[in-house]
Amino acid sequence: MKYLRQGLVFMLVAVVAAAAAIPWTGCHRRDDGRIRITMWHQDRIDVRLILQRQLDRFMQLHPEVRVEQLFKETEELRSGFIIAALAGQGPEIVYGPSDQVGPFEIMQIITPLEGIFEKEWLAQYDPRGLTWYKDHLYQVADKLGNHLTLVYNKKLVPVPPTTDEELVKIGKRLTADLNGDGKPDRYGLTWNYTEPFFFIPFMTGFGGWIMDDQGNPTLNGRGTIDGLGFVKQLRDVHRIIPNEADYNVADILFKDGNAGMIINGDWSWAGYKNAGLDIGVAPLPKITSTGLWCEPMVSPKGFSMNVNIAPEKRQWVIELIRYLMSPENQLESTKELFTMPTHMAVQQGDFVQGNEILRNSALQIAHGRTMPVVPEVRAIWDAMRPGYQAVLAGRVSAEQAAAEMQAMALRRIKEMNE
Amino acid sequence: MNLSPRTRHRLYLFFLVAPTFVILFGVVIYPFFYNVILSLSNMSLRHIRDWQIIGFGQYVKVFTEPSQPDFYMVFGKTIIWTVVNVVCHVVIGVFLALVLNQKEIKGKWLFRAILVLPWAVPQLIVALTWRGMFNYEYGSINLMLTQWLGVEGVQWLRQPLEAFIAVIVTNVWLGFPFMMVIALGALQSIPHDLYEAADIDGARWYHKLWHITVPLIRPVMVPAITLGTIWTFNNLNIVWLVSNAGEPSDQTHLLVSFVYKAAFNFYRYGYGAALSMVIFAILLVFSLSFMRRSKATDNVYS
């Protein structure tokens, strides 16, 4: 009997310990009687700090609510949200670029918003910040863009190029062997060569695009071939870009003043400013031979609502999204991060109109292509990456790479949709 | 309650084992069998809620689906990756342990601390640091090659073979301290009398190594090698971070990164589950046969 009692006590202790651990797993729904709302995002630290200030103010206004933001890497956020939401759990709000809307809609894990937010309220926002998919609104964005631009160091580049010819001319002037070892120490231009997202402006500059209106890949065309050829020329003929650069290398080269210009997104500008660089932002140049602008992808970043939100939380989630979308909060983010707000009044307000970076950012957005939200985009990225890298490594020709990209994209889409 | 002592004892044992069983069921048994079921299903992006059991179709796809790279290519690379890594880990680890086990070595604690350092640094930091070191223009490896040896820099991360070598080098650097620590522990447990007896018998160093050291560290090293093999075979972090998810052109994938990509990038959950079951089977067969062939569970003193 003694043993049995000891066994029971042991089991009881184990159960109590397990129960005590549950709050740390994030499974509990309430905290000290307050409604708890969780928001997942993939924003970097400076954005998180601003968001936390805004959340703190919201919680001061509504002491009955506790809001927690949780950072997750892009892939972790997406797969984690899918797993959690399919299990009937997950954060109430998921925040990120609009391209996650497609798969989330197919899996029915986010809720349509057109019946939740009034038309008048939605009308305050730039339509490009409202992501509709299959006739439903699935995301309301507080930031527009997530787009690439030409960022230049004003000390090295007083006037940015507007055409590819000017780009090459300035690049040649800047590229220099400063220590006499026979190798360039400073380059005219740099960017992340490993990601096809950074290749899109060159593709569009030569008339290409990733897919047609039906979602079929269109990678085996002149846009891809000539865009790849142009990038190779920049490196091998004009020699104005480094031999090899991923995001970190390109970023450090620019920050250290060893590259006069960089192709980078709106997320990077505040960091360059904080690093003490006198930067300018300009639209990516026009390709003279085609007369087309190098158009980057443009996508909003915004809020989607989990389909599993508990009824008692729903109203607070809506209230929180309204609050974070407010013109005051958007302006606060814009002032610190130089991101383009979606609230029309803020877009047309003094700060945005009077700021050179934001004016040029708006110009670049106007010369941008909206990123499709269909899940097939993921297959296209994956299909473009090997060919793009193989061309830069000199293993295949641009024509061969374009054909392989197309074939691989078709295969990937078929596999994904099986 | 009128229970016999035997029943009480059994109940007592049951209560002791029950919490462990519950946890094991939750984190091992249930996920394993759920994965088996998924591997027989068509769960994917388009069938995430209405998935059905379709039989062995996903297994057939694993072995027959034409893709670039395909299963066999990735499997071959995984074998090379595992063998090269584990051999290097064991050889370097045991060698360093033998050196550190010498009585004559002064300041052993310092050498041990330095040699364990790769193991102590977070893998993410190690991987990204090595990635930077392999950069063609600015990486320290090419700078050493060109400035000290006067040879042309290598395109480590842009060519398939070189990129594969780069990830192996990184993982060798990361992995040898584990084997060194294990081997050192095993060496310190060998009675010194055996070596003294061998000295009296006129044994040379290689006789002592082969007839005393190797047999006596074997029971410790074999499980470590088995574990090391499984860990290396299933190592996602290094390949994913150093080669930036299989770059260049998906040429540095291992089976485990191949599964990750299929399941989480392309939402092919059924296919990913089938492939992970294949990996499980490969590792199970390896572990059982290695343990049996190496006689790891035999008593070395018998």
pLDDT tens-digit readout, B155-181: 999 899 999 999 999 999 999 999 999
Q: Which residue has the higher pLDDT, A241 or B105?
A: A241
Q: Is residue B229 part of a domain?
A: yes
| Chain segment A61-81, per-residue pLDDT in tens | 999 999 999 999 988 999 999
pLDDT score recorded for residue A250: 96
Q: Are A110 and A133 in contact (CB under 8 A)?
A: no
Residue A26 pLDDT class (50, 70, 90 cuts): very low
Chain B residue whose CA is closest to A3: B12
pLDDT score recorded for residue B68: 74
Length of chain A: 418
Q: Is residue B140 part of a domain?
A: yes
Q: Using CB atoms, pick whichever of B48, B158, B248 lies closest to residue A86.
A: B48
* Interface membership of B64 toward A (CB under 8 Å): no
Q: Is residue B245 part of a domain?
A: yes
Q: Give B129 to chain A, closest Cα distance, Å.
A: 11
Question: Per-residue pLDDT for A21 more than 60?
Answer: no
Both tokens of B12, joined, read 């007592």
Choose from B64, B158, B241, B250 for mutation: most chain A CBs within 10 A: B158
Question: Per-residue pLDDT for A3 more than 70?
Answer: no
* Interface membership of A356 toward B (CB under 8 Å): no
Q: Are A383 and B9 in contact (CB under 8 A)?
A: no
pLDDT score recorded for residue A31: 52
Question: Per-residue pLDDT for A30 more than 70?
Answer: no
Residue B4: CA atoms inside 13 Å, Cβ hemisphere, count?
3
Q: Is residue B52 part of a domain?
A: no
Q: Is residue B10 part of a domain?
A: no
| Chain segment A300-347, per-residue pLDDT in tens | 999 999 999 999 999 999 999 999 999 999 999 999 999 999 999 999
| Chain segment B197-248, per-residue pLDDT in tens | 999 999 999 999 999 999 999 989 998 999 999 999 999 889 989 988 888 8
Question: Per-residue pLDDT for A23 more than 60?
Answer: no
Chain B residue whose CA is closest to A16: B19
Question: Per-residue pLDDT for A145 more than 60?
Answer: yes
| Chain segment B1-15, per-residue pLDDT in tens | 678 889 999 999 999
Q: Which residue has the higher pLDDT, A418 or A311?
A: A311
Q: Is the ipTM of this complex over 0.90?
A: no
Distance separating alpha carbons of residues B46 and A374, to the nearest angstrom: 13
pLDDT above 90 covers what percent of chain B? 72
The domain tally of chain B equals 1
pLDDT score recorded for residue A28: 45
The string of DSSP codes covering chain B is ----HHHHHHHHHHHHHHHHHHHHIIIIIHHHHHHHHHHTB--SGGGSSS--B--SHHHHHHHH---SS-HHHHHHHHHHHHHHHHHHHHHHHHHHHHHHT-TT-S-HHHHHHHHHHHHHS-HHHHHHHHHHHT-TTT-HHHHHHHHTS--PPP-TTTSHHHHHHHHHHHHHHHHHHHHHHHHHHHHHTS-HHHHHHHHHTT--HHHHIIIIIHHHHHHHHHHHHHHHHHHHHT--HHHHHHTTTTTTTTTT--HHHHHHIIIIIS--HHHHHHHHHHHHHHHHHHHHHHHHHTTTTS-TT-
Question: Per-residue pLDDT for B105 more than 80?
Answer: yes
Q: Return the DSSP state at A211.
A: B
Residue B108 pLDDT class (50, 70, 90 cuts): confident
pLDDT score recorded for residue A29: 47
Cα A192 to Cα A157, A224, A245, A254, distances in angstroms: 20, 17, 6, 12
* Interface membership of B250 toward A (CB under 8 Å): yes
CB pairs A-B closer than 8 Å: 114
| Chain segment A92-141, per-residue pLDDT in tens | 999 999 999 999 999 999 999 999 999 999 999 999 999 999 999 999 99
Residue A8 pLDDT class (50, 70, 90 cuts): low
Q: Which residue has the higher pLDDT, A16 or A221?
A: A221
* Interface membership of B51 toward A (CB under 8 Å): no
The chain-wide mean pLDDT, for chain A, equals 92
Average pLDDT over residues A186-202: 95
Q: Show the CA angle centred on residue A134, arms to residues A132 and A139, nearest 5°.
A: 30
pLDDT score recorded for residue B211: 93
* Residue B144 lies in domain: 69-293
pLDDT score recorded for residue A27: 42
**CATH number of domain containing B186:** 1.10.3720.10
Q: Are A144 and A127 in contact (CB under 8 A)?
A: no
pLDDT score recorded for residue B67: 79
Choose from B8, B15, B128, B159 for mutation: most chain A CBs within 10 A: B15
Both tokens of B204, joined, read 């040379």
Q: Is residue B227 part of a domain?
A: yes
* Interface membership of A212 toward B (CB under 8 Å): no
The alpha carbon of residue A170 and the mean position of all alpha carbons in its chain are separated, in whole angstroms, by: 29
pLDDT score recorded for residue A183: 86
Q: Give A281 to chain B, closest Cα distance, Å.
A: 27
Distance separating alpha carbons of residues B271 and B35, to the nearest angstrom: 11
pLDDT score recorded for residue A1: 52
Q: Is residue B254 part of a domain?
A: yes
Question: Per-residue pLDDT for B294 more than 80?
Answer: no
pLDDT score recorded for residue B246: 85
| Chain segment A330-341, per-residue pLDDT in tens | 999 999 999 999
* Interface membership of B12 toward A (CB under 8 Å): yes
Residue A125: CA atoms inside 13 Å, Cβ hemisphere, count?
27
pLDDT score recorded for residue B302: 55
Question: Per-residue pLDDT for A230 more than 90?
Answer: yes
Q: What is the set of domains in chain A, with CATH numbers?
A: 30-145+299-369 (3.40.190.10), 148-295+375-416 (3.40.190.10)
pLDDT score recorded for residue A24: 47
Cα B235 to Cα A52, B5, B228, B255, B265, distances in angstroms: 36, 49, 10, 9, 18
Q: Is residue B41 part of a domain?
A: no
- For the whole model, what pTM was predicted? 0.86
